[in-house]
Structures are given as C-alpha cells and as structure tokens.
Structure 1
Amino acid sequence: MQLPTTQAIESIGSYANGCLEGAKALPLTGKGYQVVRSERKRYFAHSDTISFIQDLALKSEMKLNKQLLIADMSLPQGGRFSHGHSSHQTGLDVDIWLRLLNKPLTEKELKQPYSISLVDKPTSSIRDKQWQPEHFELIKMAAKDERVARIFVNSAIKEKLCEEENRNTEWLRKVRPWWGHSAHMHVRLKCPPEDKNCISQAEPPEGDGCGYEAQSWRVNPTPQKKRAPAPVMPKQCTEMLNTL
C-alpha cells in the first residue's frame, strides 16, 4: 500500500495485528529531528504519534541541545512489514535511534545513516564511551509523557537508568527491557480514547522494574523452532484491503 486511506484517522486492532486508517506522514525533517531510511516508506503514523515525535524532538533540541534520528514508524495503511517488526501495525509505535547528534546530518550523511549501540554484546553491559547523560534525560522525558504506554530498551539500558535515577522511579515502570534494542528506543503510545477499535496493551507490571526484574533479561532467549501462525486480521483491516 503506497498511500494512506482517505478515511478519518483511526488505529485499528492491536500493535502486532492491526492497521491504520487515514495515516499521516511525518515530515522528513523538522525542528530537532530527521527521518532516516525514508525510502522504506515507514514514516506514517497516527496523528498522536506525529505530535509526540515533534514535541519530543523540540524538547530535545531546547533542553538537551541534541538532534534526534527517527527510524521505523508504520506503513501508509499500517499492517505488517515485510521484515523487521511484528508490531508497528497501528501507527502508535516509533523507533528513535540513541545516536544523539549535536547538529543535523548532512544530505550526504543522511543517504548512509548508521546507528550506535550503547551495549557491549559479549558482556551485556553499557559501553561507557557511548553513554551520555542526555540518553537518561531523553528516555525520562519520553516516559513521563502521558501519551506513552511503554518504552522498550535493552536490559542493560534499563539497569543504567535505574542506577542513575536516585529520586522518583515511578516513570521507570513504563521502560521495559526487551531483546536487542541497544541502539534505539521503541516508544509505544496508548490507544487514542476516541479510537474504539484500537486494542490497548495491558498496563505494565506494578513497580519500577529495577533490580532482579531487569537483570533477569540478561539470559539469552531460547530460540523458537517454529514461528507461530499469523493471527487473524481484524475485520476492519480486511475490509480496507477489499476496497482496493
């Protein structure tokens, strides 16, 4: 699907099994951010997500003096990517690289962008040379936004955030460890209240998730022998496809 539908904007279904009516395109450059790998056409989203990105980028530029690189959001009509993600289907997910910039990339640099991992894979620990105080502040700003449901990061990043937060840890409840996610944070927004066909994820577990819970993610996952069958697509999404 190369273009959004012309219907009113609505996130339909769940983050990993849904679609998006009336998607909006994030401008490829804006105040405090640039979109990377735009040729993938993954810069579409719900208008709430667009507003969140623009707000966070502006705060990052003003408070942290850092420019953001925005990676995968959603496709023009949401739904499944051909590769790379099982979520990002309803326009409410966005990947933000943790390569924070002092100035925007040049046109030449933007053609061959690269991310930077904050985690040393063999030791599952933070790479001190790459970690910046601004990483802490950026993730905290995102987590404290009322629109945000969850933020997925590598467990080593979660542990580092827990270590550095010595006051109110309530916001850390939203920051969830997940495999990979060492070079970007995956921000997931809540279902908009008016989108009645959007399926919310359960609230994160009680507590800040620090200590044992974060450390338990250091164990490598057991490889799955078989991929689970794809779930049945919501009726509204199949109807979108059938109108083509």
Structure 2
Amino acid sequence: MGRLVCIILLIWALPVAAQQKANQLFGSMRAASPHLPSAVGTYAKGCGAGLVQLPETGPTWQAMRLSRNRNWGHPDMIGFIARLSLTARQQGWAGLYIGDISQPRGGPMTSGHSSHQIGLDADIWMLPPTRLNLTRAERENISSINVRSADQRSVNSNWTQAHYNILKAAASDPAVDRIFVTPPVKIEMCKTARRADRDWLQKIRPLYGHNTHFHVRLKCPAGSAGCQTQRPTVAELSNGGDGCDESLQWWVTTYLNPPKTPAKPAPPKRGPRDYTMADLPRECARVLAGR
C-alpha cells in the first residue's frame, strides 16, 4: 500500500497526458477506504470515503449486476434504500431491485455513468420484483421494464399507480435532492398529482435515458464538508414550483424534433473517463490510497 501512496502523490506533479486515468485507478478498488463516511467533490467529479456495501440481498431488496461491484454507497444512501424498499413492499411489490450506486471508493467509472461518483446516486429498477431470491446469474441476465411509449411521448401500460406512489415517497424523503425520470413519467405524474399535495413534484426531474429505472440523488450529508451541492438546486430550476409548467412539454416536442439548422461541430469535451487524479479533489488521493 505504501507504494500506491507514493505513486498517487507523484502523479500530481506529472503532465495531465502522462497521468493514469482516474477511472482505471478507482475501478480497480475492490473494497471501501478505511475512513469515516464522507462524500467528496461533486456527483460527477469526486469520490467516496468510507462507503458501505449494500448487502446483495436484504429483506426488501436485491442488488443487481453484482459483477460490476457497484453496490457501495454513503450510509445515508444505504438507509434510504432500506426505507424506500419498505414502501415498495407496502405497494404490493416484493421490494426493490437496485442497480448501480457507486464503486467501493466512488470515483469515475470505466463504463456507463458520468455521475455516481460520491456514493449519493442510485439507480432503482422500474421492474416490480415478485421474488427476492434471484441467483447471481439471474441478476446478470434479467432486465428491467420500459415504462415509456414507443413514440417517447407518454407512459405505456407498464406504468402503474404503485410506480407513482413509490416515486412520490422517494421525492418526499427529506434526504433526497432530486430524482431523474424519463420525461413522460414526469408529465404523467403532473397530470395525476392532487392539487393540494404537489410540492414534492419539484424533485422529479425529466431526463431521457431513465425509462427502465429512476435515478435518486441525495443531498450532501452531514459530516461531508468536501461535498458540493448541485447547482442550480431543484427549487431554483422550478422557481419553487412543482416543475409542471409549460416548459415541461419541451421534452416531448422540440427535444424529440429539434429545428433542422446546421450545427457547428462541438469541440471535444473532456468527460469523467478522461479525468486523471489531478482533476479530482485532492482528498480523493487519500481515499484511493486508503490512508
């Protein structure tokens, strides 16, 4: 481990092009760091100290795709999953199927997500579990369900009242910052929510790519001084309302049929899989080294 510490300290002095990619370093970690739990940096540029592994099978959940080793999170996230899975049981589901949370020490991933780096993001499947005794092989091969219609403008018959109730419970949890769902889900929830009980809807945020799962993001927890709150906040995005104004329709109109105007090629953008340790908060070097 001493050699790893030296390597990590040395990389700060190297030119960016010469540094090993951070996702390779964090992706190779198999266990959490021996620190007090703390989220470090931002959701898409940071790491997680002292993360906790979500048990592969709990009384009301199962972690999926175990081969990825991404069922690690801040204790606040593990507690949230336990709470929400009890709500799912009350809605007639066996519990919840949990997708990716974070790697053992967080950080950029070798594939998939840009976020999920600090132990405060989790993907929860739309598939209602009927049993919680799936084998490891079944968890690798089973797929979730799609709740979006083929034309991407509305929900389909897979969407149920139970989905609505579970998402409402998640958004009503004070630990939650925002929840990403496919835009038709947000539109449907805006239609069916009661007039006198809608404040929680501001946390439900439309974003394509979330039609088979919903993505929960927690607020920075106490004791995580290096955690940076996402800006703008949900309240700022929706001006303190429920996010059900006319702009919501943009997701099923202009977004799906953008104006056909010539676009200048965008310059290549560096993303999480390009990051080196120099791009991350300095604390992440200690998290990676376990010191």
**TM-score, with structure 2 as normaliser:** 0.78
Residues in 2 aligned to 1:33 and 1:65: alpha-carbon distance in whole angstroms: 13
> Number of residue pairs matched?
242
Q: Which has the higher contact order (CA 8 A, sep 6+)?
A: 2
Contact preservation (8 Å) 2:102, 2:117: yes
Q: What residue in structure 2 maps to residue 195 of structure 1?
A: 224
Gaps of 5+ in 2: 1-28
Contact preservation (8 Å) 1:60, 1:138: yes
1:172-211 counterparts in 2 under 5 A?
172-202=201-231, 203-204=233-234, 205=237, 206-211=240-245
Contact preservation (8 Å) 1:65, 1:102: no
Amino acid paired to 2:138: E
Q: What residue in structure 1 maps to residue 194 of structure 2?
A: 166
Contact preservation (8 Å) 1:159, 1:211: no
Cα separation, partners in 2 of 1:123 and 1:20, compared to 1, 3 Å: closer
Deviation at 1:101, TM superposition (A): 2.2
Deviation at 1:225, TM superposition (A): 4.4
1:1-244 counterparts in 2 under 5 A?
1-61=29-89, 63-66=90-93, 67-104=95-132, 106-107=134-135, 109-127=138-156, 129-167=157-195, 168-202=197-231, 203-204=233-234, 205=237, 206-218=240-252, 219-220=255-256, 225-230=266-271, 232-241=279-288
Cα separation, partners in 2 of 1:16 and 1:227, compared to 1, 3 Å: farther
* Bigger strand fraction: 1
CA-atom RMSD in angstroms: 2.0
Cα separation, partners in 2 of 1:227 and 1:56, compared to 1, 3 Å: farther
**Which aligned runs of 4 or more in structure 1 are off by greater than 2 angstroms?**
101-111, 121-124, 220-227, 238-244
Rg larger for? 2
Q: What percent of counterpart residues are identical?
A: 35
Cα separation, partners in 2 of 1:240 and 1:123, compared to 1, 3 Å: closer
